[in-house]
């Protein structure tokens, strides 16, 4: 599988699934723009890829702000070339009893997890339409498939990502652009560790595979969906969850 000559943007790529995806796409030959609110982390990730001989740049981006997204897209286009691959990975999680969810928290999660997918996709789509080729891979969540107590706001936002994927895939199907999503299961990332503290290993031990997923597990699926080999797959939900949820 080769992505030589392709340019990818990966959001939320300073750590976790986004970082693993950026590395996997670079290893396949793509030039990668790493976006994250954590500017130092994004710069370090890009520098590491460059040190390995890959083409990469980093940008501090708040994916919920159109001005940030448009400016970073233009920078990636100028320094790396037209965008052919977009991985909408940036997001935020929260565990909140339903009656404690405030309007402010609801709006923030919807903006970061769902509105960002709109903004980033609209920013890169002209390049893909011009090339008659594009790959959009959205990172959703198995919580949106199965439901999750104390995560109504998060699950609803990620359910929106899945619906967004299916609908845009149908709209873009004749254009050479595919739109798919990967809903991770229980993946051992810094965000998960921060949310669950010391419960990660206990929950992993109770799962079908008796282990948490690795960011690299998600990255492999993302890279496949970004490749030419997946050219006849669109609107698909590729669950990567170690058997936690099946449909």
Q: Is the dihedral of CA 121, 124, 130, 132 positive or negative?
A: negative
Long-range contacts of 51-56, Cβ-Cβ distance < 8 Å, separation of 24 or more: 52/26, 54/26, 54/27, 55/26, 55/31, 55/80, 56/22, 56/26, 56/31, 56/32
SS (H, E, C) 6-31: CEEEEECCCCHHHHHHHHHHHHCCCE
56-60, strands of its sheet edge to edge? 56-60, 31-36, 7-11, 85-88, 134-139, 177-182
Structure tokens at 1: 């599988």
Catalytic option among 35, 154, 164, 224 = 154
For 89-244, list the strands marked E by DSSP: 134-139, 177-182
Q: What is the length of the chain?
A: 247
Question: What's CA 178's distance to the chain center, in Å?
Answer: 15
Tell me the DSSP string of 95-131.
---GGG--HHHHHHHHIIIIIHHHHHHHHHHHHHHHH
- d(Cα 56, Cα 159) in Å, to the nearest integer? 31
Does the annotation mark 154 as catalytic? Answer: yes
Nearest to 231 by CA among 172, 162, 160: 172
Active site residues per annotation: 154
């Amino acid at each position: 599988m080769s992505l030589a000559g392709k340019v990818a943007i990966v959001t939320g790529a300073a750590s976790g699934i986004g970082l693993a995806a950026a590395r996997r796409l670079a290893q396949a030959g793509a030039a990668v723009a790493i976006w994250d609110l954590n500017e130092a982390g994004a710069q370090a990730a890009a520098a590491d890829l460059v040190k390995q001989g890959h083409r990469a740049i980093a940008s501090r981006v708040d994916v919920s702000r159109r001005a940030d997204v448009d400016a970073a897209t233009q920078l990636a286009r100028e320094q790396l070339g037209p965008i052919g691959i977009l991985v909408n990975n940036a997001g935020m999680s929260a565990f909140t009893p339903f009656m404690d969810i405030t309007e402010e928290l609801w709006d923030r999660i919807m903006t970061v997890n769902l509105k960002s997918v709109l903004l980033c996709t609209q920013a890169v789509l002209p390049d893909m339409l011009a090339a008659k080729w594009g790959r959009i891979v959205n990172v959703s969540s198995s919580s949106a498939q199965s439901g999750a107590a104390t995560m109504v706001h998060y699950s609803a936002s990620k359910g929106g990502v899945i619906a967004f994927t299916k609908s845009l895939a149908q709209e873009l199907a004749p254009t050479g652009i595919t739109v798919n999503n990967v809903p991770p299961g229980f993946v051992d990332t810094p965000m998960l560790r921060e949310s669950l503290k010391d419960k990660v290993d206990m929950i992993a031990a109770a799962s079908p595979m008796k282990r948490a997923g690795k960011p690299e597990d998600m990255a492999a699926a993302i890279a496949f969906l970004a490749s030419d080999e997946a050219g006849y797959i669109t609107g698909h939900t590729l669950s990567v969850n170690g058997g936690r949820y099946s449909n």
